[in-house]
Amino acid sequence: MLAKAEREGLQEALVFWLPPFLAAWGRKRAFANLIVSGVCDPWHLFEKSECLWLDTSDENFLLARVANVRVLPFNENGEESFDDAEEAVEDLLVNAVRSVGYFDPFSGSGTDFFATVALLEFWRNLIDSNREIAAAAGFAHWKKEAVEPLLWGGADPVHFISGKSVELHDIPEGRSLAIWKSRVPPKFLDATERQGLPMHEVEDGFIRSAGLGADCVPPLSIVVDKVGVHFDPSGPSELENLLQHGEFSPTILERAERLRRLIIETGVSKYGVGGGVLDRPGGDRRHILVTGQVEDDRSVLSGGGDVAGNLDLLRRARAQEPNAYIIYKPHPDVEAGHRKGHVPQEQALAFANSIVRDAPISSLLEMVDAVHVLTSLAGFEALIRSKQVITHGVPFYAGWGLTTDLGVVPVRRTARRDVIEMVAAVLLLYPRYLDPVTALPCPPEVLVKRLVAGIRKENWAIVSLRRLQGSARQKLSKMGITI
């Protein structure tokens, strides 16, 4: 190979990719323009090369041909050898597809070449999307183990920082910060903005866990948004852009429909798995579900419009539905005593016919005719089940032609979407999921099946303590004591 380079005057154009024990030898060659030593991404080298000189036995020969890069093959004697090169590529590919055994890391059962490549592509795309992230701020200790595999950039472990402004100076120029915005102090946010540091906002995903985040149950799904945050209608987000401009292939739509049916069949919701069929307490009357929310949650503060809390939402729902049987379901975080938004029973029953606390949200959605929401994810879960949804705020699923919108929807949202396209964007393309068994990033279908099987990922001691704390707050609140 070197002799050919010398004969053809290509010395200055050569780049050597050498194992570490040959790197010193390569540096001694006067015409060695660049030495790449050790592990390297071959696809990057292929993209930057005009031609590759490889031994036909090198596995990168196959990859280069697959990448459609010009290859000059040499045999073990250093002689050019075109005779069997294409035949060798064909044999290797056929062998890989037909003969090699593959297995699915999530199920442990056998799979095929194409499914394996698709899974590797899925992981590679996730890693590529994280390469810009230099640090992560605002993540509670009990979340880090679950979140790290979903933020990993393929090299060093995720660098979690505490939220002190001085730590921002360690982030290299051109890199980004993954941030759980509600969990960092305002001074840190101000410093981030002054430094012009790009932020990737992280929030819980839409199929989150079998248990509450307020009880310190770690999320098994997150969203990471470089543009904004999906629940704030004042500006665009990656999810909004996907719904406004995205194109959905027949394959992704077929998968979205299968996922929708799986969710309905299993009763999976954001915080758990549903139960059985519920009777309609109001007989033949129209049944309405009104879902309470955490009143100081960011989604409510940014997308709640002029609705003044859960009691006002109930009042507005009754005004819209004077003859309906209205069921009010308080938010589980509020019921657990952790968050703001409690409505005294007598006040709630001035507008609602009944209050349901323990019934699974999926069972309630199946039973009712329509849902009135502020920004609650229950509205999206109702759309999945083909229920009428009336939005009093501006959730991410409002304004696409699927809901009756009483809030002021951004004029940016001009596209019209059907439910399957919404599922494809919201559950397949936007979030990230973690398998609680293997701790590997996984497709949503895997997480749904794990949740249905009763598999959890939580620290029992922390969760139990948190629940005791919430119970104590509830009792003190009933006594008129706020802590």
DSSP 110-124: EE-HHHHHHHHHHHH
| Count of CA atoms in the C-beta half-sphere (13 A) of 49 | 23
The domain tally of the chain equals 2
Domain contains 197: no
- Any idea what the Cα angle at residue 343 is, between residues 340 and 347, rounded to 5°? 160
Long-range contacts of 242-245 (CB under 8 A, 24+ apart): 242/425, 242/429, 242/430, 243/400, 243/413, 243/415, 243/417, 243/421, 243/422, 243/425, 244/412, 244/413, 244/414, 244/415, 245/415
Using an 8 Å Cβ cutoff, are 201 and 179 in contact? yes
Q: Quote the pLDDT of residue 81.
A: 59
Domain contains 370: yes
- Any idea what the Cα angle at residue 272 is, between residues 356 and 327, rounded to 5°? 20
Q: Quote the pLDDT of residue 340.
A: 86
- Any idea what the Cα angle at residue 112 is, between residues 108 and 117, rounded to 5°? 100
Which residue range forms the structural domain that includes residue 263? 250-472
Cα–Cα distance list, 52 to 34, 63, 74, 90 (Å): 15, 11, 10, 19
**Secondary structure letter of residue 401 according to DSSP:** S
CA distance 312 to 449: 38
Domain contains 139: no
Q: Quote the pLDDT of residue 463.
A: 44
CA distance 428 to 422: 10
Helix (H, G, I), strand (E, B) or coil at 188: helix
Residues 6+ apart with CB under 8 A from 460: none
Domain contains 446: yes
Domain contains 214: no
- Tokens 């598999």, residue located: 455
**Secondary structure letter of residue 421 according to DSSP:** H
Region of 112 please: left (phi>0), alpha (psi -120 to 50) or beta.
Answer: beta
From 76, 98, 120, the end of a domain falls on 98
From 31, 64, 98, the end of a domain falls on 98
Helix (H, G, I), strand (E, B) or coil at 398: coil
Domain contains 254: yes
**H-helix or E-strand containing 470?**
helix 460-478
- φ, ψ at 459 (rounded to 5°): -90, 105
From 72, 98, 124, the end of a domain falls on 98
Domain contains 371: yes
CA distance 224 to 130: 9
Helix (H, G, I), strand (E, B) or coil at 70: coil
CA distance 82 to 69: 15
Q: Quote the pLDDT of residue 366.
A: 95
**H-helix or E-strand containing 54?**
strand 52-55
- Tokens 């064909």, residue located: 90
Q: What is the mean pLDDT of each run of 10 residues along the chain (483 residues)?
A: 78 81 75 75 86 80 81 69 62 73 92 90 96 94 94 93 82 92 91 92 90 70 97 97 97 97 92 83 96 93 94 97 97 78 93 93 95 97 97 98 97 98 98 96 95 72 49 53 52
| CA-wise closest residue to 420 among 233, 218, 243 | 243
Helix (H, G, I), strand (E, B) or coil at 84: coil
Domain contains 179: no
